[in-house]
Amino acid sequence: MNEENPYLRSLVIVANVIGFVYNVPQVILTIRTKSAKDLSSIFLLMRIVSALLWIVYTSIIWSPDVLISWVITGGSSVVLLYYKVVYSDHNLLGELCCRKKEAIQLKEESPV
């Protein structure tokens, strides 16, 4: 990150604040209701993997401003995934299997 450019620095700060703010309502709602059933497990897993890759990359090139953003995103995703797993009626693999079973049932029920 070019620390000498105040406009770029301001842009990153605003982006980090927005990134934090947009994560807060979902995390608070999930914690209060103890339910993440409406969140896709695949979405959460992909978001965590993406955040981890960005964290590694920004650590290597040492861009702390961008690193902060991805730590926030990854952290909120981990919290959401925790609630998804702990307070769910079925586990993550169960969700994927259920979707596959539903698709098979729909295919069997549809007239040819």
pLDDT tens series, the chain, 112 aa = 555 788 988 998 899 899 889 999 999 999 999 988 888 999 999 999 999 999 999 999 998 988 999 999 999 999 999 999 988 766 555 555 566 666 666 667 766 5
Cβ pair 69, 16 in contact under 8 A:
yes
Query: What does the alpha-carbon distance between residue 108 and residue 81 come to, in Å, rounded to a whole number?
Result: 32
Yes or no: say if 73 and 20 are a contact pair by the CB < 8 Å rule.
no
Amino acid 47: pLDDT: 95
Sign of the torsion angle spanned by Cα atoms 70, 75, 76, 80 = positive
Write down the pLDDT at residue 12. Answer: 87
Alpha carbon distance 41, 92 (integer Å): 6
CB-CB contact of 94 with 106 (8 Å):
no
Q: Are 44 and 84 in contact (CB under 8 A)?
A: yes
Distance CA 69, CA 12 (A): 9
60-79 per-position pLDDT tens digit: 999 898 899 999 999 999 99
Reduce the DSSP state of residue 14 to 3 states and report it. helix
The pTM (predicted TM-score) of the whole model is 0.71
Domains of the chain: 6-109 (1.20.1280.290)
